[in-house]
Structures are given as structure tokens and as C-alpha cells.
Structure 1
Amino acid sequence: MRHFLDFERPIAELEGKIEELRRLPEAAEVDIAEEIATLTQKVEKLLAATYAKLSPWQKTLVARHPARPHAKHFVARLIADFLPLAGDRAFADDRAILAGLGRFRGRAVAVLGTEKGDDTEGRVAHNFGMSRPEGYRKARRVLELAGRFGLPVLTFVDTPGAYPGIDAEARGQAEAIARSIEACLNAPVPIVATIIGEGGSGGAIALAAADRVLMLEHAVYSVISPEGCASILWRDAAQAEAAAEAMKMTAADLKALGLIDAIVPEPLGGAHRNPEAAIDAAGEAIAAALADLAGKGGAELVAAREEKFLAMGRQPASA
């Protein structure tokens, strides 16, 4: 059964009526096909109207939708001959970070992604997309490997943030994140990062300090979750909606601020309604970004990447 968000209740009611009509026997006196077509048009119009004016908090809910495609779905559809790589060669393998080598449209690439999992068992196995230090050390290992062999790096980010547990802190969580960011910034190869769902805190930027940062239309990207921000500022997680509004965490806000490079349009009603179309659109945007970076040498890429991030937050030059 399709999962509907709270603000989608009118849509859910209409789609429920469509399902009821489809279950009617063909001999029914009413013209079922015509009625279904009319209701389907109403659903499409309502979807378009609803998703055209989503608030930042509603976009956060869409970014967290359980049916939204995850990193493994992007890899399965976009990356041919994918060969997973595991372990940080120091402590363990972290399943919250997906890593490997493969081919994107015939070109050899290295791939990294944060994976949340699809069901309860998968979410527990992937720690809900929250990586421990060994995950970021695995990412660093793959980034250095990509630099050694001249492989472009594609990353798919979908995490509420790095794992905040005591065991992660004991193994150097902050240092591991910092080293992963450092490896991104120093890699002498093109890096294209795509925020596909949640981009939370250092856990996200550890894989997103890239030459080109793309963001799906209804994804979010911020220094902290709205609930975490509300808990700090108002000491009340129930203020998450107000926090989301203030944080400027949507793709449109971040593009206007110059913190991301491009917005990838999602299918009508969000990526969870048509995952294949959403992934294909991301693939087109990734291909365009790689084409834009083609022919640039390692030193040029590193220098431009450094300038890109140093320029964030600077006041525009006065006329």
C-alpha cells in the first residue's frame, strides 16, 4: 500500500476512490473508465497544486518518505558492473556507507553513498543511514583509490547525520568526518555529489565537498535536523516546522545562496511516486556535470574546489 503524508490526505481520498472503482465488476452500470479518468485528472491537478507550494517542513517529510529511492537504487539503475568495496582497513565495515567501483554510461567511476535501508531489518542493518567513523574512513580509502587511478567520484547523500553514539565518539567520529572532507577536497579527480533525500550535518558534507553538488527538488540539506535545531533554540522539538522555515534547507534556498550547483526536478508528487524517472533525471544531471568538468587536470580541479568552498558565505562585491 502507498504511504501518504499528512498533507496528502485529500490526494489519498481521491486515489482511494479510484481503487474502489477499479474493484467494481465490469458489468456495473456506471461508466467506470470515464469516472476513473476524471478522478485521475483531479489527482494530477491536486498533486501539482500541493507540491508547487510545499513548505520547508513538508519538503523534509517528502525527503524522508519511506518509499523514496535510496542510494542503492541509484547505484543499481545508474552504475553498471558495480563492484562493492568493504571495510576501512583499520576497524570494520560500516554498512551505512555504500562504496564501490563501476561504470557510469561506459565510464569507470568510484561510487559512494549513504544507505538508509528499505524496511525495518534493512534500516537497522544500515543504522538508518548514520555512519560511524569506519564508514567515513572507508569513504576516504575509496576517494584516495579513485585519485590514484584517475576515476571520477559520484556520491549519493541521504543521511540524517553521522551516528552520535558513544562508541562512534570513542573511535574518533569528528576526526573521521574531517579526514573524509579533506579527501574530497584534495582528490585530483572530478567529484559530483547528489543530495537525494536528507543531507544532514557533517555526515552529509563528508561525501559532498564536491566540484558539483546537485540536489533533488524535494531533498533537504542542512547543518542539523529541524528537530535538533528546535531542541537547541526553543528546547522543544515540536517547533521543528518553524526551525525548518528558518534554516533555509530546501533546494531552492540553497541554490539562491550559492551552496549547491543545480536542482534536479522530481516527478509529479515526488521521487517516491516514480523512482525510476527521478533516478534517470539525476543521471542526466550527473552526466552534464561530468561533461562540464571534462578535460580539467587534477591541480585545476583541486584549486577550483578550494575556491568554491572558500567563497561560500562571502558578501557579494559592491557595485
Structure 2
Amino acid sequence: MSELLRPTTDGSVFGAVHLGYIAVRSNRLPQWRRFGADAIGLHVDEIDAGTVRFRLDERECRFLIERGPAEDVTAIGWQIDDHESFDRILARVADRGVPITEGSADEAALRGVERLWRFAGPKGLAQEIFTTSTTTAAPLRMLSSGWVTGEAGLGHVAMVSREPETMRAYYRTVFDSRLTDFIDENVSGLRMKIRFLRVNERHHSIAIANLRGLKLDPLRTRVQHINIQSATLDDMLAAFGRVTELGFRMQWSVGQHTNDRELSFYCVTPSGFELEVGWNPVVIGSELESTWEPTTYQGISSWGHTPVGETVLDKFTQFRQALRSAATPEITVPQLTGGPR
């Protein structure tokens, strides 16, 4: 980690936080195994009849799929580089009255970490933090040649929120996230604004989208998509081909984003949220970090990313879900949105 990104003496933990793993609950484990291993090209380990894990690198676990009815992401795991930063984060959460629980030894082992602590997050997504992951020398058996993790972390998480400023404040309070940029987009006549937050050199580890002027959420799942980064363009395009050939649903064709310049495609996971497989996004290293200013981009993509196979029924389902969401307040954690301790 560069000196500019290292936690500062003013108490910031920016640069010491990295997306470590994603935990999912699903009753579609056979489909998940086929999707992850045969379509995307990840290494798969079947732990038992109710647990599947995916590896991308030397870490024992990057995706944990456990049997359960949620069909959704249930927890986000964040690696913290050092104990000083770890203690700072726990103190911020505890001092504001948010309960913290230590995960069991079995939970830690399944996630490929030595120990973990858990506290509440926006939209009911548990936030799990840890300092030490467990690695393995076992060779990776996967169709892809590799994935980009390291200092940039696993990838990013994108969510739709009816309370976007509250969610942004949450991650600023807990992880000292920084605003990278905005995107304004029109989707089917509706104005959407997306905020991109970084916690290290990755252009963004968190993306927050909302419909401007409407407190509606058209998605059933807490997460809109998870992103992972291919090591090569050939790997990304090969995964696109396998997803299509194996009959998994493609949501958005290959295209390039306006802000982080990443080439990518989006497909639908067996649980219904999307997976973005990308290549070569902008990296905000120490030189760029020192002068970076947020910019607003018009439109999500400079080219491509056209919708694939979207039907009138899909639109109707989203509209019905949006109406349902309006009747139930979105889960927030007000203690962690920047107010006084």
C-alpha cells in the first residue's frame, strides 16, 4: 500500500479497506456450481451438500454460497490491513451504539478467515470485517487464466437505494470512503443517479444508484450486481461466450463504461442479482489520488452494454416490486450516517 493511501494520523482508514468476500444464501446450489465453474470460469470447492465456495486466487474463499431461501447476498466481507485500522472501525461502530458480534469459528472457517466481527449494514446486508485470510497452495482448477484482486480487493458491490445519501454517509463514517464520481442516466424515461465510492485504489468498491425524485426500488435483491475483474480481455470475452452457450441469462452485452473505462458484460446469477465480469478499469493510484476531483458523467456507457432479452414481463415485475418497496421503509443504520457519537 502506497504512503498516500496508508491510514493517516488523523484517524482515517482509507486505503486499508478491501472487499474480501461475498456471502450468498441460495437453494440453487447445482445451478450456482455450473454458473461459477463452467460459465464464469472460477475454481469451485464443494464443501458439503449445503455449501459451495469459489476461489479466484490463493484465498480459500471469495464467494460463499450456503443453502438457504434468501436467493440473495446476505453479507459483505471486508479485509482490514492492520489492527490499528481494525480497532478504529470497531470503535466507530461500538461508540455509536451499534451491536457488534464475533462470528463463530465455523463461520470464519467457511469464509476463509481466521476471525471476523459482524455489524449491521444498509438494506439489511451484514458487514463483516477481518484482518487475516486463510490461503491455500492447492492449484486453481478454473477456465480463466486469472483475476485481479490484490490491493484493489475482490471487485465492487452495486446497490439500488431509496436513501442514497444515507448509504453514502454510512460508508464514509465506517470506512472513510471517498466519492469518485457520479453518473446521470435515463432508464425507460426515469432519471437515475449513481454515486461511486472508493476505499482504496480501485475506482469504486461501492456503487449506489437511485431513481431521482422517486423513493422506489425495482429490485427484489439487496444487491444489484457484484463485479469481478478478469486478468485479460480474452478471459472476459471467453466468459461471455460460455455464459451464452450454457444458456445463462445475459443482461447487458459487452460495453465500456464512461467513468472507470472498464470493458464488461452483465449476466444474471442463479439467485437473480447480476454479476459483472470486467477488464481493465481505471486505477486511482497515489499520483491520481492526490489530485482526483469527482466528475459527473452523462450515461453509463460510452458504447455497448445494450439490454439482452428483456421482456414486458420483466418490466412489469420490476414495476410491481417497486410499488411493494414504497410501502416498506428501507433498512438504514442511522447511528452510522455521520451524526454525533
TM-based fold match above 0.5 = no
> Which has the larger strand fraction?
2
Compute the TM-score of the two structures, normalised by the length of structure 2.
0.27
Q: Using CA pairs under 8 Å that are at least 6 residues apart, name the structure with larger relative contact order, 1 or 2.
A: 2
